[in-house]
């Protein structure tokens, strides 16, 4: 049926779909969640208005996110005969002017971000190509290849960029056993955190005899600081569906679930539409591409529980229970969802599958380090210039990601650490920045790959505060099944709270407990780590252990000197007005939300320490820089 | 009594326990929260004790048991947002609205919810008001945003 039309597209039609040449102008707007957050909706409105007002015959395409969140909203324009050019920070107000400049051929190279060098169309002077732009040139984009480039809602465009070729080849010429073998040989490991060899997981499930097997795609990206799964689904949903079809074929599953966060409404919407469209074209559903293989994909929305990233907890959640892990074995590959063999793979893992089948296991395994193959997507955020999504080959150093691709620390501040792996991971200090991205090497420095969140921290970030933040998160998200995790993480949080509490808020023996607590941290951590059932508990103490290991001096400053060197722990700060500098303009007193600043006009003011909530509003308000903290 | 819930339940004839979370999600989507009456109705439909339903519903962060405000403000407290000062944003918001996180204002106009991560880390710190994202926030920017919603609400009310 409709499948034929998709696969019988001629070379010219495919070229058109790839937009190697266009008959009329095309305007692309990056409208992923992050783009919309930066104001892409207003940009879209402005573009539509401009087109109607100027009576220009042009197409508008909403794409996903190309990965450079810091420069959003992004707008690309492709004129007939010219290369596609991308502009940064295109707000609704700026859009008409930029469009004007493109259509009159007077582009300001400074407003442009990058151009798509295709070797055919005429380029724009002074605008870097992808091979030249510092953010893009060091990346190897396999998983993110189409993100931000194609229309994510168009199956034809995905097809034109080589999509579904892997599935067609596999279904017509490779047995499921050979497919498992291919993934084994590729060396692909789970991208969700643990790094378990994907092929092995498939092999276990394939070996099980059962009338029904399940494939689950884990899109419950609960790790704060990671958003690559969202970007892949929003920007290239068919890649995930093709990967799932290949995985299900290999393990012999006929039913598949995508367990996705409810916080990602746009991703859910795109996925629902993509599934419906793939079914219509015979790429999902009964007898896919005319073969004997059938697959039905269902979407299950997560309800917000970090522990559901753990396989067995996720299964419980799909079954309608509390998302609590259960002991393994039996492993899900043997006894999983509804008691049937189940394979659970992360979004990025599955998005890699079409790449492997399209190019072969050997080709895939050529890239990377000895034990970590292929690429990894990182969500670069925090105090770095170029925040966004970065895909690099395994073996790239963290220094390269943060400084060469990320552009270094914003506002010229000094680098302190980078947090990798979310609440289960650890911090990497300056001294270890040359660590390569590799599952094992990251473990040797007390961190882990995790799902790929990279949060950069500078001199103004307090590492004790960061540890406290993660402990607060973990103790709230602990499911409560294992007592060491439930109670232990709570105790650890209390200890961290005690050392960041101001002395005047301490009562009774709390000062004594503060000293005692710090000594107990490592011991507590060891008990939690060795006696918890699931990954959440076993890795829960990591943020504390790794900050304690690398930033002991900061802990000491909090405990003994009662000072926060970074100035982030509010309670340990005191605000003071420097009398000679204060002109008595009363601005700070007006801004102070609690009325803690007193003084007559035109004479120096003073701060009532007891009332001060240390919000910093006065510092921001003072035009004479007369307020200091210590 | 609770006609919305009844209507939703008719879409799930003969449903088993695995439909519990989707039903709760749909009820919350329609009603804004999970009411006692809804729990009783769902329990009867699925053959589950109310205690079991509360056991599941309270486990997950998504479900709320109080109605949400006309403007529901989600404050992201992910790592990137934290490093960029979301704690200040949250306390400023609580101060501005005289409202604690997790609560709804008495006039039903605003409610604040803290979420683990919205997934827009590149724009940290971020809040999301009724599906509209506001990124790269400062306390000043936040004040303006809240003011604009107050005005919108006032215009709507008149």
On chain B, the residues whose CB falls within 8 A of the CB of A479 are 59
Helix residue ranges, H only, chain B = 3-10, 20-31, 36-46, 50-59, 79-83, 86-97, 139-157
In A15-74, the residues whose Cβ lies within 8 Å of chain B are 33-34, 36-38, 69-70, 72
Contact flag B133-A265 (C-beta cutoff 8 Å): no
Q: Helix %, strand %, coil % for chain A, to 5?
A: 45, 15, 40
The answer to whether the beta carbons of residues A60 and A29 sit under 8 Å apart is yes
Does domain B3-59 fall under CATH 1.10.10? My reply is yes
Contact flag B62-A262 (C-beta cutoff 8 Å): yes
Interatomic CA distance for residues A594 and A310, integer angstroms: 44
Is the previous residue joined to A329 through a cis bond, with omega within 30 degrees of 0?
A: yes
Phi and psi dihedrals of A545, rounded to 5? -60, -45
Question: DSSP state, B115?
Answer: E
Interatomic CA distance for residues A528 and A516, integer angstroms: 18
Whether B1 shows a pLDDT value over 60: the answer reads: no
Interatomic CA distance for residues B73 and B112, integer angstroms: 5
Closest CA to A626 of A599, A611, A610, A613: A599
Interatomic CA distance for residues A75 and A71, integer angstroms: 10
Domain boundaries along the sequence of chain B:
3-59, 71-157
SS3 A322: coil
The answer to whether the beta carbons of residues A233 and A266 sit under 8 Å apart is no
SS3 A533: coil
On chain B, the residues whose CB falls within 8 A of the CB of A73 are none
The answer to whether the beta carbons of residues A264 and A225 sit under 8 Å apart is no
Q: What pLDDT, on the 0 to 100 scale, is given for residue A508?
A: 80
The answer to whether the beta carbons of residues A556 and A518 sit under 8 Å apart is no
Selected for mutation to probe chain A from B17, B55, B79 (highest A CB count within 10 Å) is B79
Selected for mutation to probe chain A from B12, B21, B119 (highest A CB count within 10 Å) is B119
In B62-91, the residues whose Cβ lies within 8 Å of chain A are 62-63, 77-84, 88, 91
B44 touches chain A (CB under 8 A): no
Q: What pLDDT, on the 0 to 100 scale, is given for residue A3?
A: 58
Is the previous residue joined to A528 through a cis bond, with omega within 30 degrees of 0?
A: no
A162 to A18, A118, A169, B89: CA distances (angstroms): 10, 17, 12, 45
B43 touches chain A (CB under 8 A): no
Contact flag B79-A262 (C-beta cutoff 8 Å): no
Whether B158 shows a pLDDT value over 60: the answer reads: no
B15 touches chain A (CB under 8 A): no
From first CA to last CA, the distance across chain B in angstroms is 30
Same fold, B3-59 and B71-157: no
Closest residue in A to B117 (Cα) is A224
A463 to A182, A443, A629: CA distances (angstroms): 44, 20, 19
B37 to chain A, minimum CA–CA distance in Å? 20
Closest CA to B23 of B34, A216, B59: B34
A236 to A77, A168, A271, A432: CA distances (angstroms): 20, 19, 9, 34
Interatomic CA distance for residues A494 and A551, integer angstroms: 19
Domains in chain A, start-ordered, CATH in brackets? Answer: 17-133 (3.40.30.10), 155-365 (3.40.50.11540), 375-461 (3.10.20.600), 464-561 (1.20.1440.230), 574-629 (3.30.70.20)
Percent over 70 (pLDDT), chain B:
98
pTM over 0.90: yes
Token pair belonging to B99: 């409202």
Q: Which of B62, B116, B120 sits opposite A37 (nearest CB)?
A: B120
Interatomic CA distance for residues A141 and B45, integer angstroms: 49
Annotate A487-544 with DSSP letters as a single string. Answer: HHHHHHHHHHHHHTS-GGG--TTHHHHHHHHHHHHHHHHHHHHHH-SSHHHHHTTHHH
Closest CA to A618 of A588, A595, A598: A588
Average pLDDT per block of 10 residues along chain A, 630 residues long: 74 91 94 89 96 94 92 94 95 95 91 90 93 95 95 96 95 96 97 91 96 96 88 96 98 97 92 96 95 96 92 96 93 95 97 96 96 95 94 96 95 94 91 95 90 92 94 94 95 93 81 85 94 93 94 92 88 88 91 90 90 84 88
In B98-157, the residues whose Cβ lies within 8 Å of chain A are 115-124, 126, 131, 133-136, 139-140
Q: What pLDDT, on the 0 to 100 scale, is given for residue B154?
A: 81
Q: What pLDDT, on the 0 to 100 scale, is given for residue A1?
A: 44
Q: What pLDDT, on the 0 to 100 scale, is given for residue A244?
A: 98
A261 touches chain B (CB under 8 A): yes
Interatomic CA distance for residues A264 and A301, integer angstroms: 9
Interatomic CA distance for residues A426 and A179, integer angstroms: 36
Contact flag A34-B123 (C-beta cutoff 8 Å): yes
More confident residue, B80 or A214: A214
DSSP strand pairing (A84-87 vs A75-78): antiparallel
Contact flag A323-B21 (C-beta cutoff 8 Å): no
Interatomic CA distance for residues A310 and A474, integer angstroms: 14
Token pair belonging to B109: 């106009």
CATH homologous superfamily for B71-157?
Answer: Glutaredoxin (3.40.30.10)
SS3 A597: strand
Selected for mutation to probe chain A from B26, B102, B120, B127 (highest A CB count within 10 Å) is B120
Q: What pLDDT, on the 0 to 100 scale, is given for residue A280?
A: 94
How deeply is A436 buried, as exposed, middle or buried, from its count of CB atoms within 10 A (0-12, 13-18, 19+)?
middle
Please report, to the nearest 10 degrees, the dihedral formed by the alpha carbons of residues B96, B97, B102, B103 taken in order.
160
Closest CA to A213 of A252, A257, A176: A252
């Amino acid at each position: 049926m409709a499948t034929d039309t998709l696969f019988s597209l001629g070379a010219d039609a495919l070229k058109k779909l790839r937009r190697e040449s266009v008959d009329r102008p095309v305007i692309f707007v990056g409208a992923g969640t992050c783009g919309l957050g930066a104001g892409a909706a207003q940009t879209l409105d402005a573009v539509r208005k401009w087109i109607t007002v100027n009576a220009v015959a042009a197409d508008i395409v909403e794409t996903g996110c190309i990965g450079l969140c810091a420069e959003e909203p992004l707008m690309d324009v492709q004129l007939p005969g010219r290369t596609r050019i991308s502009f940064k920070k295109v707000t609704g107000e700026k859009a008409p002017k930029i469009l004007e400049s493109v259509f009159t051929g007077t582009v300001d190279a400074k407003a442009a971000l990058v151009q798509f060098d295709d070797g055919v169309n005429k380029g724009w002077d002074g605008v870097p190509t992808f091979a030249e732009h510092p953010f893009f040139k060091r990346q190897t984009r396999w998983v993110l290849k189409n993100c931000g480039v194609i229309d994510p809602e168009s199956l034809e465009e995905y097809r034109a960029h080589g999509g579904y070729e892997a599935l067609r080849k596999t279904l017509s010429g490779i047995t499921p056993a050979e497919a498992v073998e291919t993934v084994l040989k590729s060396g692909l490991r789970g991208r969700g955190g643990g790094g378990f060899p994907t092929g092995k997981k498939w092999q276990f499930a394939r070996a099980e005899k059962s009338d029904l097997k399940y494939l689950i795609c884990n899109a419950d990206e609960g790790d704060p600081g990671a958003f690559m799964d969202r970007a892949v689904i929003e920007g290239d949903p068919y890649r995930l569906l093709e990967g799932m079809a290949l995985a299900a074929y290999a393990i012999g599953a006929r039913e598949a679930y995508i367990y996705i966060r409810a916080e990602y409404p746009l991703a859910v919407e795109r996925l629902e539409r993509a599934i419906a469209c793939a079914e219509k074209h015979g790429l999902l559903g009964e007898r896919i591409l005319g073969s004997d293989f059938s697959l039905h994909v269902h979407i299950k929305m997560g309800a917000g529980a970090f522990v559901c990233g753990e396989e067995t907890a996720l299964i419980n959640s799909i079954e309608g229970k509390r998302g609590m892990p259960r002991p393994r074995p039996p492993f899900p590959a043997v006894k999983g969802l509804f008691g049937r063999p189940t394979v659970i793979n992360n979004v990025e893992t599955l998005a890699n599958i079409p790449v492997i089948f399209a190019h072969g296991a050997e080709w895939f395994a050529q890239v990377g380090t000895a034990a970590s193959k292929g690429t990894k997507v990182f969500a670069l955020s925090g105090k770095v210039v170029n925040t966004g999504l970065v895909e690099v080959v395994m073996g790239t150093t963290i220094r390269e990601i943060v400084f060469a691709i990320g552009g270094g620390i914003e506002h010229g501040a000094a680098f302190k650490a980078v947090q990798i792996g979310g609440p289960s991971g650890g911090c990497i200090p300056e001294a270890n920045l040359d660590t390569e991205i590799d599952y094992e090497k990251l473990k040797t420095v007390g961190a882990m790959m995790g799902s790929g969140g990279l949060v950069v921290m500078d001199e103004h970030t307090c590492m004790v505060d960061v540890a406290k933040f993660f402990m607060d998160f973990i103790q709230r998200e602990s499911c409560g099944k294992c007592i060491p995790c439930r109670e232990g993480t709570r105790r650890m949080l209390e200890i961290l709270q005690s050392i960041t509490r101001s002395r005047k808020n301490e009562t009774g023996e709390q000062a004594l407990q503060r000293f005692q607590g710090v000594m107990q941290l490592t011991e507590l951590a060891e008990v939690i780590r060795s006696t918890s059932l699931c990954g959440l508990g076993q890795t829960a103490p990591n943020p504390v252990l790794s900050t304690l290991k690398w930033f002991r001096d900061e802990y000491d400053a909090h405990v003994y000197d009662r000072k926060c060197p970074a100035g982030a722990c509010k309670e340990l700060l005191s605000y003071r007005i420097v009398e000679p500098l204060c002109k008595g303009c009363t601005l700070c007193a007006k801004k102070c939300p609690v009325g803690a600043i007193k003084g007559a006009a035109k004479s120096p003011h003073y701060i009532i320490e007891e009332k001060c909530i240390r919000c910093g509003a006065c510092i921001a308000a003072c035009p004479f820089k007369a307020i200091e903290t210590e | 009594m609770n006609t919305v819930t009844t209507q939703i339940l008719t879409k799930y004839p003969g449903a088993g326990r695995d439909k519990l979370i989707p039903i709760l999600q749909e009820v919350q989507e329609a009603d804004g929260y999970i009411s006692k009456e809804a729990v009783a109705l769902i329990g009867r439909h699925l053959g589950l004790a109310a205690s079991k339903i509360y056991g599941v519903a309270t486990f997950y962060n998504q479900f709320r048991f109080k109605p949400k405000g006309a403007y529901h403000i989600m404050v992201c407290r992910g790592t990137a947002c934290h490093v960029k000062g979301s704690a200040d944003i949250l306390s400023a918001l609580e101060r501005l609205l005289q409202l604690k996180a997790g609560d709804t204002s008495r006039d039903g106009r605003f409610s604040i919810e803290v979420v683990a991560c919205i997934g827009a880390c590149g724009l940290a710190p971020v809040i999301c008001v009724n599906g509209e994202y506001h990124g790269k926030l400062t306390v000043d920017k936040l004040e303006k945003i809240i003011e604009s919603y107050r005005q919108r609400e006032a215009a709507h009310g008149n």
